[in-house]
Amino acid sequence: MEDFPIGKISPSLFHDIIYPALGNPNPKILVGPNTGMDMAIVRVGQEDVLVTSTDPVVIRPELGWHDSSWFAVQVVASDVAVSGIMPQVMTFSLVLPASLAVADLKDLWQALSDACHKEHIQIANVRLMYSDYATFPVVGAATAIAQGHQSHYITPADASLGDEVLCTKGAAIQATAILARLFSTELRTFLSAEETFEAQSLFEQIGVLQDVRILLRHNLVKKGVSTMHDATEGGILGAVYEIAVASDLGVELDADNIFVYPVTKKIFDHYNIDPLSVISEGTLVMTARSTFVPIIQQVLEEEGILCQSIGRMTDKAHGRWITQNNMRKPLYHPGSDPYWRLMSTLRQKSLHVKSRGEIGHTDFHNET
């Protein structure tokens, strides 16, 4: 039996296996599955489109029902929001462990409802079932849906020659926060208590819905911002590469301009991982017309969101390049995200330590 890398399926497997077999062609599908395209765009009526995206629902009880549900909703909704049309509806299909108590089910579902309500999203359809085979954290899937005018949406294929590449917040936001929340005891072997708290606090920056709302409120999407992509699998490097491929352009990426929190650098240096290649839900990668960059940075930073210029889109013949640590080299997709391998390693280590009775509590229930 062949073992595949943990995480999203590779682009090569997608194009070899998934892409050729997509059912019956439908001319109403304006944007379908492809590299870097995390949403579908479907024509409805004469002038409107539906934007939809489906993701696994990841619920980690060790984060608490509230935070875990908020995280799950952010992940699903972000893939629609980056189209420039905000999600309005979500559907859930959950397969929950048979051992889950009714009281926990009530708390979990209320937390999911609250997370949707906070983002002005209505839950339109639900299917829940219990199974002896179901285990946390992956307990089903959810779909986010939006409807808007066909002139309002953008996709990662819409970058133009000369656009600047921007990103918000910094690298490895999600990975830093989740690892610090789940494995604080392990991280405290090389982080101070203050650094651990700082890493855990980055949880509040997960999600790009606020970033997109600010840009929409100032009428900067499409007029100034040409593409948006949340930096999930493969981190910032993966998102920039996917925009370049989808737009059929080259890119010059200045990785030395990308902000990395000191605690993030310390964590990933310890594990010999480049934080720019690590999952970072919460980091919005954009391309934008150069003349609009100052106002884009201004409106975001007025709301406390750092926005950095990290490169520019070039002609495809120019190639795709990254300058990192003052060294220029070809830019490639990072491939399988090292976060998943690290997560698995730390999980096994934590279980091993617990089984030997070397700690008095499990890392899976932190005080955060």
pLDDT digits 0-9 by tens, 339-360: 999 999 998 887 766 666 654 4
Q: Residue 351: what pLDDT?
A: 74
**Residue 290 neighbours by CB distance under 10 Å:** 12
**Residue 161 neighbours by CB distance under 10 Å:** 13
The percentage of residues in the chain with a pLDDT greater than 90, rounded to a whole number, is 86
CA dist 181 → 68, 86, 140, 278, 340 (Å): 11, 29, 23, 17, 15
Q: Residue 352: what pLDDT?
A: 64
Whole-model pTM: value is 0.92
Q: Residue 196: what pLDDT?
A: 98
Question: Within the chain, which residues score under 70 in pLDDT?
Answer: 1-5, 352-368
Gyration radius (Cα) of the chain, Å:
20
- The structure tokens 């606020």 sit at 210
What does the H/E/C string look like for the chain?
Answer: CCCCCCCCCCHHHHHHHHCCCCCCCCCCEEECCECCECCEEEEECCCEEEEEEEEEEECCHHHCHHHHHHHHHHHHHHHHHCCCCCCCEEEEEEEEECCCCHHHHHHHHHHHHHHHHHCCCEEEEEEEEEECCCCCCEEEEEEEEEEEECCCCCCCCCCCCCCEEEEECCCCHHHHHHHHHHCHHHHCCCCCHHHHHHHHHHHHHCCCHHHHHHHHHCCCECCCEEEEEEECCCHHHHHHHHHHHHHCCEEEEEHHHCCCCHHHHHHHHHCCCCHHHCCEEEEEEEEECHHHHHHHHHHHHHCCCCEEEEEEEECHHHCEEEEECCEEEECCCCCCCHHHHHHHHHHHHHHHHHHCCCCCCCCCCCCC
Q: Residue 45: what pLDDT?
A: 92
Could you give the angle at the alpha carbon of 184 between the alpha carbons of 193 and 340, nearest 5°? Answer: 135
Q: Residue 216: what pLDDT?
A: 98
